[in-house]
A and B are shown apart, each in its own frame.
Chain A
């Protein structure tokens, strides 16, 4: 009877487990298997196990570019997350300011970038903002008497351009989450603090941030992962086939893409993918542990 009771939840969950197994677990296991083989153009149907050779190539070859791609990815994630959280926080604060009129209109407008397909947004920015001939930025620069600039031709300006675009695309989500969280903070806390003579920063650090942290944390983690594995902004702005801009920015996902789809070396690219998967899992374990400790 007890065994039957124990089995029932598993039985109910079985279809979902099957689905997850087929859609998520099997591809990961198969990718791990391919990463241990020499599957490439010359061994398309007759590939065989070669051990950890592909991992060695990905990690240890000085010119493989993988390690520098990891570095760029970490900087990209840190910069984007830092700026995103701060900017979104202040915009959300502004939207919650007492006496602000038409705040629903502003909120709707701020959501607009989120509603647009990423591919469209990126190409619009590439042509309408950053293009040397037709872009708004150069129109303004030349109208002010300056010379035309190429914003995507070198790594630092290209990194900044990608960051600005990522902010434009990602801010609506963060603003919405922080805006919602701010509305849940008990106003009486601020009233008491004001009576005690607390200023803006004291209220921010001692009331607002501690109160909204449990709500913001999951969305921040989600955004960290999205930013970490960001591909389309960097690829479409700087690395699109046939229109390279001169910048050589490479994140681990663009690196994996180049290995998988350009070199046709599926063994090596699977090894890179499994390494990325490992990094993300590690990242996830640490952030979840941090959250759990914080909550307890």
Chain B
């Protein structure tokens, strides 16, 4: 009896191993119907419409605005899009980028990982599905520059972000200064680190947040050719200048600085539009100033990085659903989507025509982001950039948090960056 039971259990376990390999209910039936019924299927697809999946890793409210608008605009064409959130999107795209069944048709993400995905060969150039000259007509030049990799456009820009100077009108005393030296003087006068109160806080050891200084001084984290610039004289000058600000900005951790500002212990913060909902929830009377309104000691304006959020097309979808993809791209680049993104989500649209709208003209935050775009530099989108953040931030942390010698640290982390870049090949 025992033997029989054991054998049955073994059989069940072995069968269980293969359980996932079975066909879905109705699949077999569908398969048999498929043979010789291609035209019928095509007709059916046309009548049912085409469904396109867009993966993203962003704010659900923003995606919802776009999804609603695009589906309304393309309803008559029988095209429907759905935005699906995937955390660690680039990792997911590495796994499913060539998977026609389980992967997405398009993805919506920041432009800085573009080079990596393009090198992997999973993206289709936008020119494969659309006439780029017509599509780009109303789009901002800086955003178009950001979505090009090796002279090929791989994304359609939808909106962009830059850092801003956000201040608490209830705490800030006097006018917000126009130069960084005056800003530093204000910080010295209004910071008491022992009491935990600060004039201005910033993520002083995060490369993205120090980039306005580095770019403004004429330095760079990485140039267009993929050369790291941590040991450039201008970069060192900028990091040295930023160091004295860092000493008055707590530990520079994202959670620390946002909490200090939201709790009214810091009068101002350098941060992006993503902070605004938390600030509003904290009941702070928010003032906004563009970073390009601050001049550095060399007379140049702070020049933050800009992050362009856009939509890219996976190769297999460009081949099989090219027409529908083109219509979705046009819809996403349209004025209507742009205006709704500004009004509903405070996103600075990449479509220039949007700024003629009266509702948009009244949006202080978006206008400040737009203004900052004049001096902002698109984040590099070459694959080497993915390994550059680590050494750049380690350099800043060593200088600002561990009091390392700046020149020695610059050389050390420049070498680390060179090694990291060689390691990706």
Contact = CB atoms under 8 A, between A and B. Distances in A.
Nearest to B388: A262
A147 B196 CA distance: 12
A18 interface: yes
Contact of B251 (A41, A132, A258): A132
B401 A12 contact: no
A262 B391 CA distance: 11
A102 to B, nearest CB: 38
A157 to B, nearest CB: 10
A142 B193 CA distance: 11
A276 B13 CA distance: 33
A255 to B, nearest CB: 12
Interface string A16-34: 1011001000000000000
Contact of B425 (A40, A133, A153, A247): A40
Interface stretch (B22-30, B64-72, B415-423): B415-423
Contacts of B255: 127, 243
B250 interface: yes
Interface in A246-274: 246-248, 258-259, 261-265, 268
Nearest to B195: A142
B383 A41 contact: yes
A11 B10 contact: yes
Interface string B232-263: 00000000000000000011011110011000
Interface in A25-67: 40-42, 44-45, 57, 63-64
Contacts of A142: 194
Given A150-B401, A243-B253, A15 B194 contact: no
B14 interface: yes
A93 B55 CA distance: 56
A191 interface: no
Contact of A245 (B14, B119, B389, B401): B401
B394 interface: yes
Nearest to B265: A133
Contact of B387 (A247, A248, A262): A262
**Binding site of A, secondary structure by majority: helix, strand, loop or mixed?**
loop
A264 B386 contact: yes
B256 A42 contact: no
Given A40-B425, A132-B251, A243-B253, A14 B14 contact: yes
Interface residues of B, number: 47
Given A63-B419, A153-B402, A246-B401, A18 B393 contact: no
A263 B423 contact: yes
B120 interface: yes
Contacts of B194: 142, 147-148
A43 B328 CA distance: 31
A149 to B, nearest CB: 11
A41 B206 CA distance: 25
Interface string B390-425: 100110111011100000000000011001100111
Given A15-B14, A150-B401, A258-B390, A40 B424 contact: yes
Interface residues of A, number: 43
B205 A244 contact: yes
Contacts of A19: 13, 17
A268 B10 CA distance: 40
A131 interface: yes
A246 B383 contact: no
Nearest to B398: A246
Contact of B259 (A63, A134, A244): A134
Contacts of B116: 41, 264
A264 B424 CA distance: 6
Interface string B118-139: 0111100000000000000000
Contacts of A264: 94, 116, 383, 386, 424
A59 to B, nearest CB: 14
Interface in A137-153: 142, 147-148, 150, 153
A154 interface: yes
B399 to A, nearest CB: 9
A290 interface: no
B6 interface: yes
Contacts of A16: 13
B121 A44 contact: yes
Nearest to A8: B3
A133 B250 contact: yes
B390 A242 contact: no
Contacts of A245: 251, 397, 401
Given A41-B424, A262-B390, A246 B397 contact: yes
A159 B423 CA distance: 27
Interface in B13-64: 13-14, 17
A41 B120 contact: yes
Nearest to B402: A246
A242 B206 contact: yes
Contacts of B260: 133
Nearest to B255: A127
A137 to B, nearest CB: 13
Contacts of B10: 11-12, 14-15
A259 B419 CA distance: 11
Contacts of A258: 390
A258 B420 CA distance: 10
A264 B383 CA distance: 10
Contact of A42 (B98, B203, B396, B425): B425
Contacts of B423: 57, 259, 263, 265, 268
A132 B250 contact: yes
B401 A133 contact: no
Contacts of A14: 10, 14
A25 to B, nearest CB: 14
23 contacts: A12-B10, A44-B122, A45-B120, A57-B423, A131-B253, A132-B251, A132-B256, A133-B259, A133-B260, A148-B194, A150-B401, A153-B402, A242-B206, A244-B396, A244-B397, A246-B205, A246-B398, A246-B402, A248-B398, A263-B420, A264-B116, A265-B424, A265-B425
Given A41-B424, A63-B415, 7 more contacts: A14-B14, A41-B116, A57-B423, A242-B254, A245-B251, A262-B420, A263-B423
Interface of A: 11-12, 14-16, 18-19, 22, 40-42, 44-45, 57, 63-64, 127, 131-134, 142, 147-148, 150, 153-154, 241-248, 258-259, 261-265, 268
The list of the 4 closest CB pairs from A to B, nearest first, reads: A246-B401, A15-B13, A246-B402, A153-B401
